[in-house]
Every structure is written in C-alpha cells, then in structure tokens.
Structure 1
Amino acid sequence: MTILMVALALAAAGLFFRWCEHGRNRRLPPGSMGWPYIGETLKLYTENPNSFFSTRRKRYGKIFKSHILGCPCVMISSPEAAKMVLASKAHLFKPTYPQSKERLIGPAALFFHQGHYHSLLKRLVAASFSPSAIRGSVASVQTIALKLLSSWEHATSPICTLLQMKKYAFEVAMMSVLGGEAEVETEGIRCLYGELEKGYNSMAVDIPGSRFYKAMKVRKALNERLMKIIERRRGKGGGGGLLGNMLRVEAGELTDSQIADNIIGVIFAAHDTTATVLTWLLKYLHDNPNLLQAVAAEQEGIARKLQLEGERGLTWDDTRDMSLTARVIQETLRSASIVSFTFREAVEDVELEGYVIPKGWKVLPLFRSIHHTSDFFPRPHKFDPSRFEVSPRPYTYMPFGNGLHSCPGSEFAKLEMLVLLHHLITTYRWRVVGEEDAIQYGPFPVPKGGLPIHVTHQSRRWEKDSTSFSSISQ
C-alpha cells in the first residue's frame, strides 16, 4: 500500500508539473525534464558529468532545461550567462540548494541567504578565513598534516586516499571552527557527519527507511552535540576560531541554532570537496611523472631552506613560493571540476538569452562545462598546469564560484593542500593500486575505490646529494 501511494503521488506530481509548464513551454529553454519528480537526477549522479552536460549542450545549446533532485531547473554554460546570474543581476537569483541539502545543512547556513544576515555571516567568515587571518594557521595545519601522514607509515594494505583526505579535511575544518581548542564531542561529530553527508543528494522524501529520513535523524543528533559545545563556549567568553567570532557578535544577532547551522555549513564546504581535490591531485601527479619530478624539486628546495634556517616549520611566506605546485592545484580544480555547478533560484520571471526562466525555478551555472570548453582552455582534456601562467578570461574559471556568494574559504583550502603536498612529496612516495583509470560517481567523480595507494617512507635525497634529484613516484 505504501509503494502504491508513493507511485500515485509521483504520478500526480508529474501531471501537475506538466500542467504548470503548459502554456509557458514555447518560451522555456529546450531540454528534457526526464521522469516525473525524479527527473534526470539518476542520470546526473551515475554517469560521467562531462558526458551528461556535453550531450545536452550539443543537442540543445548553451542554455537548456532539466529536472534535478525534485527541482525544475535551467542549466547555463556560457561565461556571459554565468556573470549575469552570479554578479551583474544577482539580485534576481537568490542562493539556494535542493530541499534535501537545505534541510540537512540547516536553513540558517550562509549559503541560503541575502541581505543583512548574509553580510553579517560573510564578515564573520572572512575574519576567520581571509589571507591575513589564516597566516597564523599554517603551524596548526602542518601539525594535522604530519599526524595524518605518519599514520600511513606502517600500513600493510593499500590506503584509501579519499577516506584519508576526508579525515584530514575534517580535522582542519574543525580546527578553523574551534580555533584549535579540543572538544570531547569532536570525534562523535566526525562520525555523525559522515552519515549525514550520505543524504545530501537524496530525494527529500521523509518516510521511514529512506536515505533522507535516516540522515535527518543523524542531523538531530549532530545538532545536540554542537549545542553542547556552543553552550560551553558561551560560558567561557567564546574562545577562538569561527565559533568564537560568531559568539562575540552583539546579543540577539545570532541564535545558537543559527550558529550550529553555520558550523555544519563550514564542514560541508570544507570537507568532501577538499578531500576529493586532494585525491585527484595525487592521481594527476602519479600519472604525470615529469610534472611530479618538477613539483618535487620545488618542494625539496623549500625543505632545504627550512633545514638551513634551523629545522623550522612552514610559514605563510613559504607557501607563496610554491608557484608550480599552486598551478597544479589550479589545473586540478579545472580538470576535475569537483563542484560541477551551483544553485540559484529565480525570484521572478527572468528573461535570459531569449528564453524565460519562471519564478521559483533553479538556475545552474555549469562550471564544469565552462572549464572544459576548448575556446577558453585549449585541449581541455590534457592536464597542463602551464595554462595558468596567464590569468584565465573572467568567468571562465570558477572553481570556488563567483560574485557575492563565492566561497570565502578558498584561500584556506589552497593552504591546506599546499601544506599536505609539501610534506607528502618531500618525505614519501606512493603508487596507485588497481585500475588506474577507472572512475566512480556519486555524487563527485573520484578515482575508483577512492584511489587505493601504497605509501613508503623515503629519505630526503638532497641531504645525500644536493646536486641531483630523481622522481619519487616509481
């Protein structure tokens, strides 16, 4: 009976949607809405996103309609349209996510707001993640990186890169939120968050047994743990990190519930995406041994300088000297395009490139499609960091979004990648195990199995012979 009722509800929703669309479809962008309610969600999250977007772009053009995670949407893949949606006419497109993500992250998170509340939160986040603020975080990030890498040394079986990078990204995210102050709930939060994220790309069907239902129960437990930390920190005057900044705003401006939503929002923004980028970084470096050797030479030069200056740790200024490594990160962000698109919602009927986007429809600037357009990036399927020796054209490279709602933690994310790569490349070598070119999807494309690798410790070769250096990935 339950299955029958769900089927009838889906059919009714499909008929209602098609009825609402009737009369407008002459001016709607071309495209397919897929199955009722489900739309094209399964196709998007189970096949190569490059193929998904390029097939529709060839068939319909640079703007087309679809239906994802229960939302009618318009997908755009030109820099001009992206600029309009994200910047020049951003007031017509409010930030949003599918209902499942909004409810699981929390409705008060920074991503979903405009106006005074958004400005307040953006100012607080910027105070914690701007370059001037994170200069002093290098030592803490380095400690976390060294702890992770040392745990690999005695592994007798292949390491799952993605899972290990998730541990690293979570610890760095919690350090930035808590200011490095230990909390007994942290490990429990990590376990709960791992369960919560499984529901992000599910349909928002809140019935017992569904993935979304399970995730919502986890969200409640996660909120309770965060509330304990917030209450304890209030009694101590706030403390450090982003949490301390949020607790020190004027009384009444932020409730504990709003603070909890934004902590989860920061973990969401910093966790899965950063871990996936780091996984692809190891994959691309492994597959390009000449490039790896050049990056290793750059990092060994910095390591040599640290030793000559008294075995000191990395500083912010040291990371500014990693120009080649930084370009490798840029090219990884372009090539892998971890965030394929972002969500906006039309606040009124909007005309775009001769079509009408109805009020309430989602609008998705397709970063991945733009990043893989040969007009902007010649030979887009070739991994080539040298392309970033010249700044890309505006609105053709947007790994962290653009406009008022671009990711405020982008510089911090780059910093944690540079720190980890420095110590990994100068102290270890790694070898990919299994199918080297296989990819899995759900929701982010990642090397199959999360990139299993064998890791071995190595001595610094320049300590033995400062005039020569050979590849560390053999």
Structure 2
Amino acid sequence: MDHISLCPLIVLLLCAVILALRKIFKTVIQDHEKSAADIPPGSHGFPVIGETLQFMLSVNSGKGFYEFVRSRRIRYGSCFRTSLFGEAHVFLSTTESARAVLNNESGMFTKRYIKSIAALVGDRSLLCASQHHHKILRSHFINLFSKKSTALMVRNFDELVVDALSGWEHRGTVVLLTDLLQITFKAMCKMLISLENEEELDSLQRDVGFVCEAMLAFPLNLPWTRFHKGIMARGRVMEVLEKTIRERRNETSSHNNNNHHEDFLQQLLAVDSDGSASSSDHSTKLTDAEIKDNILTMIIAGQDTTASALTWMVKYLGENQKEEQTRIAKQASDKPFLELDDLTEMTYASKMVKESLRMASVVPWFPRVVLQDCEMEGYKINKGCNINIDARSIHLDPNVYSEPHKFNPSRFDEEAKANSFLPFGMGGRTCLGLNMAKAMMVVFLHRFITTYRWEVVDGDPSIEKWTLFARLKSGYPIRVSRRL
C-alpha cells in the first residue's frame, strides 16, 4: 500500500522536473537566439579551421578567391561572418561601413592582413604596420610621391611603353599581362632603386612573382609548399636590397659622385644621413628592415596591381572598342614623350581609367582589426575580430552605381557617391601611390590606343589561381595592327 500511495507523488515530482527542465531549455534557447541575433549571420565552419578549406578551394578555382566572399554575400547580405586561418572575420559592403571603418575617425580599427601576406611582405611594411607605426612610416614615404616624382615617373614610364609597343606588331600574338608585368616591373625598379640591368631584373622579377603567388597560400613553411617557396624568394629579394643599400652607403662615405641616383632609395638614405627627420616623426631614422620591407611592398603594389588593372582595362575596351577607342585615338599627341601636364587634358582617358578600376576592383577588400567592441550595421562586433570592407560589392552595387556591370566611363562625368569609389582605399591608409598609378594607366591607355587596333585571341574569363590581385588566367592574348 505504501508503494502504491507513493506513485502519484513520484509522478507529480517527475512532471515538475520535466516542466522545470523544459522551462530552462526554453530560456537557454531563447537566450541563444537573442545572442545570435546580435551577431552577423554566417558560419564559423569547422572547429579551429573554420571555413579555410572552402576559401582555399576558391583560391584554387577558375573563379578566384573572391568567389568565397561573393557567394556568402548573396546568401547572408551586406554583413556576414566567417572564420579563416583560425581567426574570426566579418565582411561589410555598404558605403556607410566603408566611411566608418576606413576613415576610422573613432580610432577603433587598425590594419591587419592574413598571416601569409604579413610574413611575405614583412611586418614593417606599410600594409601590415600598426596604427602608430604606420603614421611614422607614412611620414617618411609621403614626400616620395610628390608632384616632381610623379612627373619624372610619367616621363620614364612613357619611354618604357613607347619602346615596348614598337615591337608588338611584329610578334604575332602578345600576351598582354605578361608584357605589362615586365613594363611595370622595370618602371618600379628604376624609380625605387635605379635597377636597369636586364639579367638582375629578370632574377628579381622571378622572385617577386614567387612572393606574390604565395600570398594566399596556407602559411605552412615546409619545403614542398607554395608558402615556403615564397618565403625563400622573399629572402633573396631582401639580400638584393641589402646589397644595394650597402653599396649606396659606401658611395656616400667615399664621396663618389660618379653614380648619382635619383630614386626613392637615395631620398630615404639622404634623409636618414642628414638627420632631417622632424620631431613629429619622433626623430627616428628608418631601419634597413623598414626600408627593405617597404621597397618590396611598393614593387609589388606598383607592378602587380597596375599590370592587372591595365589588362582588365584593355579587356573592357576590347568589348567596347568602336566608341571608346575612337574618342581616345582622336587625342593622339605629337610629342615624343608625354609629360604630367599632358595628362590633365586627357579627361576622357581618366574617366576610362576610373571606370576600369571600379569594375575590376583589383584590390577586392580592405582588412582591418577591431580594437574595441563596437556595433556595425546593427550587429555586435567583438574586439580582436577582423573586419573587411568589401570594395567589390560596393563597386557593383546597383543601389550605388546604375547598371554596375556595364562599362560606362561617362558615369564619372559627375562625382561618384560619397565613400563608393574605393580602388585605392580611403582615409589615413589611402594608397600613397594612387596619383602615380592613375598616371601610369593613362599613359599606357593613350599610347596603346593611339598606336594600335587589336583583336582578342583568347577571351577566357577564368581567373588565375593563387593571385591576390585578380588576373585573367589567359593573360589576355591579343594580335595588334598599327593604326594608319
């Protein structure tokens, strides 16, 4: 009887426990849902590795690594989260976010690239320096990109372009990207370190190419990996630059005036040797490591991004040849070489350059790291999270640019919407060489179109694997014929 009388009590207790547990589970689930609602949508993927494998598959595909971002942008919207190489990342693609993050008036963001890029260009590079260190470095380098330097670069680059183009009509097929990489590499090496020896240029260009190919590789430094190959190539580049710096200092100490150099390296060494660094720079001289890391960075930025952008520009022109080429061809200059002032009159060419940069988005996003908890686009972003401004999505947003996939230089008859044109970044970390890069593109555009007509040999739109800056896999082979 005692056992029987206890049964209802046990049942009641079990029901009470079940109801209590149900209430607890419901509260936990609601709290989780509320918490999840505060963070950007997306997936952190597998433990530790996150979505790194999916990212690497995109890197190794014919669509390029940006496909990883594009597919998630479509799925989740203008703000999403992911995890790459063991770190949390948030991607943002609105002009409001671009203004807040890139202008960084709040001081809540600083720059950080993924580990492989930082290891290859160096942690003393402008690309990877902390906010404080970046300001010091930028104060040393900003004078290198003066109007005088840009004018000299225009003249030298035009000579290289005219010389290179003179032989294209006799070559049958010209692989445009390959030739442009050589032209821009020569231009950067002459401007930065006065290197013009063909054998030395070929060796250095090969090593810089290995560095570029390793930038998106998994940072595993073992002998058979792409990353290791890039690290070894970086070491050889550093040896070349170290040797050049040593020779310059020896020339200065021996008062040897037979080798006068008008290049960036000489300007940097001159500033350091005469102690003219201002107190605002903390009177700090640049170390050799800082000089070497940033010369490598400028070589890569000046060669790879410019050559890639020029190739895309010719592709877009090839698809809009009749009207666009005719307008440029009518502006042919009778001068043997162009000067900086000549470029100011080439207004339509400048618009074509801007439209090409918008459509190509050679630098597809700008990475930063969050220094303190903040809120972006209605979501909570934690301190230490990587935050990326998705420039390509902004450039191709129909709410920002009308018919964004249509090549239309005339859209720049008017100023672009605020914070919507981002090929060179924005704010305190805007690319120092933006005016020089645009000038180089206008020079090539003018010379190429006023010299040649062309037809495309291979229009394959596939993207080259393992490249940080989007390139056509085919290199865009063309056949040219001289204009009459």
Category of TM-score, reference length = shorter chain:
0.7 to 0.9
Superposed, which structure 2 residues align to 1:149-160 within 5 Å? 149-156=165-172, 158-160=173-175
Contact 2:366–2:389 (8 Å) recurs in 1: yes
Aligned residues: 429
1:425 offset after TM fit, Å? 1.5
Match of 1:313 in 2: 337
Residue 267 in 1 paired to residue 267 in 2?
Answer: no
Cα offset for 1:108? 0.6
Task: Give me the whole-angstrom Cα distance separating, in 2, the residues matched to 1:41 and 1:54.
Answer: 11
The whole-number CA distance in structure 1 between the counterparts of 2:196 and 2:265 is 11
- Equivalent residue, structure 2, for 1:16: none
Residue pair 2:108, 2:371 contacting (<8 A) in 1 also: yes
Q: Return closer, same or farther for 1:236/1:379 CA change in 2, 3 Å cut-off.
A: same
Distance 1:437 1:386, change over 3 A: farther
Residue in 2 aligned with 1:450?
475
Q: Which of 189, 192, 207 pairs up with 1:192?
A: 207
Q: Distance in 1 between matches of 2:231 and 2:305?
A: 22
| Partner residue in 1 for 2:217 | 202
- 1:439 is matched with which residue? 462
Q: Deviations over 1:288-315 (max 9, x none)?
A: 1223333333432xx24x3xxxxx4211
Name the CA distance, whole Å, in 2 between partners of 1:78 and 1:345: 18
Cα-to-partner distance string for 1:72-92 (whole Å, 9 max, x where unaligned): 200000111111111144621
Match of residue 83, structure 2, among 60, 67, 83: 67
Give the equivalent residue in structure 2 for 1:77: 93
Q: Structure 1 residues 52 and 107 mapped into 2: Cα distance closer, same or farther (>3 Å)?
A: closer
**Closer, same or farther: CA 131–43 of 1 in aligned 2, 3 Å:** farther
Q: Does 1:98 align with 2:114?
A: yes
Q: CA deviation at 1:182?
A: 6.1
Matching residue's letter, 2:264: L
CA distance in 2, matches of 1:276, 1:70: 30
- After superposition, the C-alpha distances for 1:24-62 in whole angstroms (9 at most, x for unaligned) are 755331112345522541354333677654542343221
Match of 2:407 among 367, 371, 383: 383
* Post-superposition offset of 1:423: 1.8
Q: Is 1:401 aligned to 2:416, yes or no?
A: no
Extract unaligned runs of 5+ from structure 1. Answer: 1-20, 307-311, 462-474
Cα pair 2:315 2:476 within 8 Å, conserved: yes
Q: Is 408-417 or 440-449 further displaced after alignment?
A: 440-449
**Aligned equivalent of 2:389, options 357, 361, 365:** 365
TM-score for both structures, normalised by structure 1? 0.84
Is 1:29 aligned with 2:29?
no
- Larger mean CA deviation between 363-372 and 65-74 belongs to 65-74
Question: Whole-Å Cα distance in 1 between the matches of residues 148 and 66 of structure 2?
Answer: 37
Shift of 1:115: 4.9
1:33/1:40 contact within 8 Å kept:
no
Q: Counterpart of 2:102 in 1: which secondary structure?
A: helix
Structure 2 equivalent of residue 284 of structure 1: 316
Q: 1:23: Cα distance to partner?
A: 11
Q: Distance in 2 between matches of 1:315 and 1:414?
A: 14
Q: Using a 3 Å threshold, how does the CA distance of structure 1 residues 89 and 24 change in structure 2: closer, same or farther?
A: farther
Rounded Cα–Cα distance in structure 1 between residues aligned with 2:295 and 2:399:
39
Q: Does residue 350 of structure 2 align to residue 350 of structure 1?
A: no
Superposed CA deviations along residues 229-264 of structure 1, whole A, max 9, x for unmatched, are 011112234943221222123366211121111111
Residues 129-144 of structure 1 mapped to structure 2, 5 A cutoff: 129-144=145-160
What SS does structure 2 have at the residue aligned with 1:453?
strand
1:41 lines up with 2:55 in the alignment: yes
Q: TM-score, normalised by structure 2?
A: 0.82
For 1:393, give the aligned amino acid. Answer: K
**Counterpart secondary structure, 2:127:** helix
Decide whether the 8 Å contact of 1:40 with 1:67 is kept in 2: no
Q: Classify the secondary structure of the residue corresponding to 2:388.
A: strand
Partner of residue 419, structure 1: 443
CA contact (8 A) 1:70 1:203 kept: no
Amino acid at match of 1:143: E
Partner amino acid, structure 1, of 2:305: T
Match of 1:246 among 257, 268, 271: 268
> Which residue number in structure 2 is paired with residue 464 of structure 1?
none
Q: Distance in 2 between matches of 1:396 and 1:278?
A: 21
Residue 175 of structure 1 corresponds to which residue in structure 2? Answer: 190
Name structure 2 gaps, 5 residues minimum: 1-31, 253-259, 274-283
The one-letter code matched in structure 2 to 1:41 is F
Q: Residue 41 of structure 1 contacts residue 67 of structure 1 at CA under 8 Å; is this kept in 2?
A: no
Q: What is the RMSD computed on CA atoms of the aligned residues?
A: 2.5
How many angstroms does 1:368 deviate by? 0.2
Q: Which residue is 2:278 aligned to?
A: none
Q: Is the 8 A contact 2:328 2:348 kept in 1?
A: no
Residue in structure 1 matched with residue 21 of structure 2 by the alignment: none
1:152–1:159 CA contact under 8 A, matched in 2: yes
- The worse-fitting range, judged by mean Cα deviation, of 56-65 and 362-371 is 56-65
- Structure 2 residue identity aligned to 1:335: M
